[in-house]
Structure 1
């Protein structure tokens, strides 16, 4: 075999892709003396962040959350909501606060906080607007609603994107927009949630009208569920804290909880006498084939 044929780069199948001199033939050998370290300041935050934002009342609430569970680490999810009620997000300080309260490492807390989409790494607006873009809502208009709200809330010709905020985050009238995979309301699509309260059967126009009212300081009544609160108050409630005054508590949680569309099947079954077959006392298990 000639030297020329050795450099053609032909493969077993005869392809000439990659033909020509190899990298080894064209670049002289270089002895590696040492490897320069990669700066890590953008990857790791050294030391413990300032936790002073979490005041004595927050610490008291954190201790109350821990007391609900036989194992303290089980309190992590509601405690992350507590952190968001203070900062509007889960910051590095929030991560370390939860770790200290629960005897976990910051890495363990961070693994949970970055797994669930309800925990935000950027400060949310006064209101979190979630547009369902899963299959049924999408084909009924959810995609159009999300696109139009992005355009409407954007600035300088740039559309507002997922988990981005119009206005100063946390300030009155500020809105964080997100697309949600499923809001579990296919019978009422397209649906929007504002701070996790439902606004059903939306259109592009009604969605724009809704966010305009929110930006103007109004709080429209959700289609069903509790009266509308701001994002941080909703987060405090998700952590399990409500007004101690009974009348105030009832006013904050009472509201229509089901829609006509949702109950239609149950109503038809009742009217027509449909019942599910009774469960047998014993259900024989199928035989398992021997291998």
Structure 2
């Protein structure tokens, strides 16, 4: 980054203050920041000072510092860091900042610098004879895809050729810089491909699948002119018959509620059947009857199902095996699997049965549950670390 210093004393004015319009603007800008954070307005105030005088003077830096109760050095740091702040007089009609960073350099920035040297002055920051133009080379200005580029005050001009830059400088020299539209100087929109889009140029119509409504039984749709049935008599609706005590019956009365309560949903019947089957199976194997969650479609009577045991007083923490979480541990416990030793003793057929039951698609083999269980059964966490080089889970 280039060294940036304030202009020599001979160029520095005696004092600085905002004009009436800018003074009102400055107060409104400072008021936007929370109490105690007014110093955050330093950049906009410096920029407004530059717009008023054309460059940032020492007097302007001190004025902004006093207004924001900041040390002079802190405001000087800001002014010298950002290349948008001009620290010495620049052209009154245009100060051309040529990007010289790699993308622009590869696309012809050096030729643009040659134009500036020939049209303005050989040296950067030096004014032309009329004092209306100046130039400098700066770091990346953020439009690399449209390289090479220059900035003139707040506007960027991109995709430049030396001839185009000559034309732009001439227009600013004549006081007609507003005739030039900022942005890309070729046939492109912002950073879109030059010459227009090259892909996805045709409209693509996506056909949505038509979902037909489910057929409705004819009996469920009465004719349009059919009279609505009256269901308020005892004959048409037995549930509304007047009880012997003379109290009127309601749709939510005790008779109806009792009928609803007695009717079990089909899902409850299925759950009971599964639980009874699991309990009977466990009892037949000499295990404690448990409600084993049905995680897959394999039969609990399969000969390859691992043998279960009664729940010991202190079951092993199966979650120490990588791949076993609280839910899987609960399913294994439901199958009568409580210890590392049980898992360590699984044969291939038993591993495949459990893998299919859990719908793991080979995960038991990939995670090597048997080897993990062997280490944990043999020496707990210490043995696991010795074998695998890390703590379990």
Same fold (TM over 0.5): yes
In the TM superposition, residue 257 of structure 1 has moved relative to its aligned partner by: 7.2
CA RMSD of aligned residues (A): 3.5
Distance 1:221 1:102, change over 3 A: same
- In the other structure, the counterpart of 1:261 is 193
- In the other structure, the counterpart of 1:67 is 31
Number of equivalences = 191
In the TM superposition, residue 185 of structure 1 has moved relative to its aligned partner by: 1.6
Higher mean C-alpha displacement, 75-84 vs 256-265 = 256-265
Consecutive unaligned residues in structure 2, runs of 5 or more? 1-6, 205-389
Residues 1:165 and 2:130 are matched in the alignment = no
Matched-pair contact (CA < 8 Å) for 1:62–1:101 = no
**Higher RCO (CA < 8 A, seq sep 6+):** 1
Q: Structure 2 length normalisation: TM-score?
A: 0.43
- In the other structure, the counterpart of 2:136 is 178
Q: Whose radius of gyration is greater, 1 or 2? A: 2
Structure 2 matches for 1:1-291, cutoff 5 A?
49-51=14-16, 53-70=17-34, 71-125=37-91, 126-154=93-121, 159=122, 161-169=123-131, 174-219=132-177, 220-224=179-183, 258-261=190-193
Structure 1 residue ranges (4+ consecutive) displaced by more than 3 angstroms after TM superposition: 262-272
SS of 1:147's equivalent?
Answer: helix
In the TM superposition, residue 194 of structure 1 has moved relative to its aligned partner by: 2.0
Whole-angstrom CA distance in 2 between matches of 1:85 and 1:99: 17
Q: Structure 1 length normalisation: TM-score?
A: 0.57
Distance 1:212 1:221, change over 3 A: closer
Matched-pair contact (CA < 8 Å) for 2:99–2:148 = yes
Consecutive unaligned residues in structure 1, runs of 5 or more? 1-41, 226-255, 273-288
- In the other structure, the counterpart of 2:377 is none
Distance 1:198 1:56, change over 3 A: closer
Matched-pair contact (CA < 8 Å) for 2:120–2:134 = no
In the TM superposition, residue 259 of structure 1 has moved relative to its aligned partner by: 4.0
